[in-house]
Amino acid sequence: MAQAAPVIQPDLELAYEMPEQATLLTDAWRRIRRNRLALVGMVIIGILFVTAAISIVWTPYPTWLQAVGPTYQPPSLGHPLGLDQAGRDILSRIMGGALITVEVGVGSAMIVSLIGIPLGLLAGFYRGTVDTIISFFINIWYGIPDLLVALILVFVLSDALHLIPRGVFVIIIAFSLTRWMDVARLVRGQTLALREREFVEAARMSGARDFALLFRHIFPNALGPIIVQATFAIPAAVLFEAFLSFLGLGLPSPTPSWGAMAADGYHGMDFAPHIVLAPTIALSITLMAFNWVGDGLRDAFDPRMRR
Amino acid sequence: MRGTLLYVGQRLILIAITTILVSSIVFLLLHQIPGNAFLNETRQSPQTLAAELHHYGLDLPLHTQYFNWVQGVLHGDLGESLVNRGVKITPLLIRETSVSATVGFFALLVTIGLGLILGVIAALRQNTWVDYVASSAAVVGYSIPSFVLAIFGLLIFGHYLYDWTQGTIYYSPGFTSPLTQVEVPALALGLPYASYVARLTRASMLETIRTDYVRTAWAKGLKARVVVIRHALRNALIPVVTILGPLTTGIITGSVVIENIFGIPGLGKEFITSILARDYNIVIGVFTFYAALVGLANLTVDVIYPVLDPRIRY
């Protein structure tokens, strides 16, 4: 197979009948609607966002308020999810945790994209030295346990820079600094392929500057895969936050992080399992929903992937 | 063969460079943190403190410390614990690596074994209830983080089934101990990735069993076992092997939290304990070990690759 014979590729664009006036998003929506798992995922994410929004203005009890009843009290009518080891209302804390989860997930996805997209565009578009440098970093970071670097970064950022208290922001920054490579690598690949296409050539011929080429012509055409990648960054970030907080290295104590709540309940697991079950189930369902939607989006944005 | 050796040699050098580079970043980062392991609630006279700092060379300028550290790493010496004075880090970490490796090995066994079996069965029985059960289990299992599985495992096996297990879910070293002590941690660590492997195997098996050469193999009258294992599975494995690298990284990082939940005295437990105790020398050391392990794991995967796919040569 030294010299592969040229294979005639069937023109997929022609074979696929375009519906009238379908933009990227409406087209994807039309396909994702048929994906039952993705729809269930979207409903769950919807509930998560609404819960998070409600928890800003109202929770049954303040999330930090201790001793609203007997400690370790199992679920009852007054407290549907029971009370934890400090007598805090678990339902309120789960609601507050939803807000933290949304903040960490969405914030990380945004910052990862903000770092990854420009770097990927630059590497793919200018190639040469720029690409070599950026790809070098991407490859190095792929060979290391990034989660542990992020863990150390959280520690260093919160201790060394006294400006930032250890909060959601530090976790988002640490996560993003170690995870932008996924997006950058994807965008770089897309850009490398797109910059050779005729429409980019045409735009260049009509005098478009590099900036316009990148952001008006190449970026919109790479948007589908970028959205998918960003969606998958959300559960990764949520899991990272839970992982840190569970180990006691994440958000400080009164913050109702699901990971920290699981760690609280972990010690009284044999006689009060409800404390540990509530946050871990909430976390698992959330991660599941984001993964389902991510899978659905991937299929929706790339019709060729479908069987 | 010579090409492969050359390739492995090159990669080993690259791994060494990457490891030192990344650990250097961690070294420099951790030395930016104010305070040190000796600043704690017990009062120390300035002389004792100065003596302690001098003992660890922490009174030297940063670049000298860094130079000494790199020199130590190159000689396989990661220094001395800040908290437990006199404890050499390298032998400690080597011992802990063997503990972590045992759990990691079984987790990998769960991941690959269970993942492959479920994936292959689901593909062969496509669109039957077997496929639906396996596929839904995979779709759900992939999203449940391993620390949640660990908690559930501890709750079920350590508490609800106490009469049966006698609570034997702690770790005791070596392969001689009864399996039950590694099983639950390994399951918790391996199951999420097993689901992922199962999904991938199913998809790639479905593609392979529809190819012409598999049809030929059936037509030749070969036994089902031979067709499935030797013809279909071998080629279906190729995409699965590509994710083995990231997967091994995932298992290594995942072991940090699993070891802390089950109290397994491995690298991961040391990592977190040392971070909380501000024993930065050990933190840097564990990190160096992890970076090297991940590099070696990826290299192993790349070496296995041409065995499965002869089109790839180095």
> Highest-confidence range of A95-109, A217-231, A245-259, B10-24, by mean pLDDT?
A95-109
- Average pLDDT for chain A: 85
Confidence of residue A289 (pLDDT cuts 50, 70, 90): very high
Residue A140, chain B, CB below 8 Å: the answer is yes
Confidence of residue A184 (pLDDT cuts 50, 70, 90): very high
Return phi, psi of residue B80, to 5°. -125, 145
Q: What is the pLDDT of residue B168?
A: 59
- Residues in contact with A54: Cβ distance below 8 Å, sequence separation at least 6, in sequence order: A95
Contacts of B206 in chain A (CB under 8 A): 307
Cα distances from B68 to residues B72, B74, B92, in angstroms, run 6, 10, 20
Query: By C-alpha distance, which of A98, A31, A288 is closest to B136?
Result: A288
Cβ pairs A/B, distance under 8 A: 110
The pLDDT, as a whole number, for residue A261 is: 92
H-only helix segments in chain B: 2-30, 46-55, 62-74, 89-109, 115-124, 129-141, 146-153, 162-165, 180-208, 212-219, 224-226, 234-242, 244-262, 267-277, 280-308
The shortest CB-CB distance from B148 to any of A155, A156, A280 is to: A280
Under an 8 A CB cutoff, do A145 and B140 touch?
no
- Please check whether residue B263 touches A, CB under 8 A: no
> Per-residue pLDDT tens for B239-251?
888 888 888 888 8
Strand partners, B80: B88
pTM, to two decimals: 0.86
Structure tokens at B35: 């305070």
Residues of A in contact with B17 (CB under 8 A): none
The per-residue pLDDT for A8 is: 61
Which pLDDT value is given to residue A307? 39
The sign of the CA dihedral B238, B113, B182, A241 is positive
Q: Could you give the ipTM of this predicted complex? A: 0.84
The confidence score (pLDDT) of residue A112 equals 94
Q: Look at A151 and A109; give whichever has higher pLDDT.
A: A109
Residue A283: closest C-alpha in chain B: B144
Return the residue matching tokens 């559930």: B152
* Mutation site for A-interface testing, chosen from B31, B148, B152, B156 by largest number of A Cβ within 10 Å: B148
Positions in chain B whose pLDDT score sits under 50: 171, 174-179
Asked if the Cβ–Cβ distance from B252 to A145 is below 8 Å, we say: yes
Residue A4 has pLDDT above 60, yes or no: no
Calculate the CA dihedral of residues B15, B17, B21, B22 and round it to 10 degrees. Answer: 0
